[in-house]
Amino acid sequence: MRKILLILVIFSLTACTQSADVILDENSAKPMNSSELLNPELNALEKNQTSSSANNQSQSTQNKGDQTSQQNNTYKINEEVKNMNTATLTTNKGKIVIKLYTENAPISSDNFKKYVINGFYDGTIFHRVMSGFMIQGGGFTANGDQKKTEAPIKNEAKNGLKNNRGTLAMARTMVVDSATSQFFINLVDNDFLNYQDDSNYGYAVFGEVTEGMDVVDMIAGVKTTTNGMHENWPIEDIVIESAVLSD
């Protein structure tokens, strides 16, 4: 019965579905493996990352010199805030305090810090809300514009951290090393998002909510709609008003 229900859900994923039994990435047209086909929730994390990743890959070819400079700047920024391992997201629903797992997920944590320091997340929204699964944000403004990001990072899903309730993980496309700015907060223990093997790599956990899970649950309860190609888009804007780091 569960398999039948999952297959029915697949039919609703119009942005990524090319036929009844094969789900294709919008840009690469690469078929998903069988585990992804039976877990349409993975598409929920991938769909709103795909165009951003494609833009970054194009920029990587055209602006290698600029990206090298950005990476050098990132290193300097991270050195300045290496002991700031707490992030506070102030939303229009309340505050969410996050502990970053800098030892287990140094690349993802430093990447998140970089976007916080640059003010990237200020004014972005939680654009995908799926009750009983996760809430996703960090890439879109309230008017639906997707923000330009820096280069993708390496996937650290092998770090042993699990996608349990309250943890933060990097959203990505079907490409393993494609995460940029978007992240999601797990509402339940999502074991199927963990690293299984190199063919089912999973999603890298890099932090955990230490205060404000009541706010996260409040966000998870808002009503959603379809906004263009984006499903599960909150009817009311869930805005990250500011993001700051502290010790």
| CATH value at residue 126 | 2.40.100.10
With respect to residue 119, please indicate whether it lies within any of the assigned structural domains.
yes
Q: Which two tokens stand for residue 169?
A: 């993980």
Helices (H) and strands (E) in the chain, counts: 7, 10
Domains of the chain: total: 1
Note down the domain range covering 161.
74-246
- Least confident residue range of 79-88, 108-117, 172-181, 182-191: 79-88
pTM given for the model: 0.75
Higher pLDDT, 40 or 156: 156
The answer on pLDDT for 44 being more than 50 is yes
Local confidence band at 23 (pLDDT 50, 70, 90 cut-offs): very low
The answer on pLDDT for 72 being more than 80 is no
With respect to residue 129, please indicate whether it lies within any of the assigned structural domains.
yes
pLDDT at 195 (0 to 100)? 98
Q: Which two tokens stand for residue 7?
A: 């297959």
Higher pLDDT, 51 or 162: 162
Local confidence band at 5 (pLDDT 50, 70, 90 cut-offs): very low
pLDDT at 77 (0 to 100)? 54
What DSSP string describes 37-57? HT-THHHHHHTTTHHHHHHHH
pLDDT at 82 (0 to 100)? 83
Local confidence band at 48 (pLDDT 50, 70, 90 cut-offs): low
With respect to residue 56, please indicate whether it lies within any of the assigned structural domains.
no
pLDDT at 10 (0 to 100)? 33
Local confidence band at 118 (pLDDT 50, 70, 90 cut-offs): very high
* Measured torsion, CA atoms of residues 102, 103, 104, 109, in degrees rounded to the nearest 10: 20
pLDDT at 29 (0 to 100)? 27
The span from the CA of 177 to the CA of 56, in Å, is 12
pLDDT digits (tens, 9 = 90+) for 130-152: 999 999 999 999 999 999 999 99
With respect to residue 1, please indicate whether it lies within any of the assigned structural domains.
no
With respect to residue 242, please indicate whether it lies within any of the assigned structural domains.
yes
The answer on pLDDT for 19 being more than 80 is no
Contact assessment for residue 88 and residue 65, using Cβ atoms and an 8 Å cutoff: no
pLDDT digits (tens, 9 = 90+) for 203-235: 999 999 999 999 999 999 999 999 999 999 999
- Top-confidence range, 2-11, 53-62, 130-139: 130-139
With respect to residue 205, please indicate whether it lies within any of the assigned structural domains.
yes
With respect to residue 235, please indicate whether it lies within any of the assigned structural domains.
yes
pLDDT digits (tens, 9 = 90+) for 175-213: 999 999 999 999 999 999 999 999 999 999 999 999 999
Q: Which of 141, 134, 145, 94 is nearest to 119 (CA)?
A: 141
With respect to residue 57, please indicate whether it lies within any of the assigned structural domains.
no
The answer on pLDDT for 52 being more than 80 is no
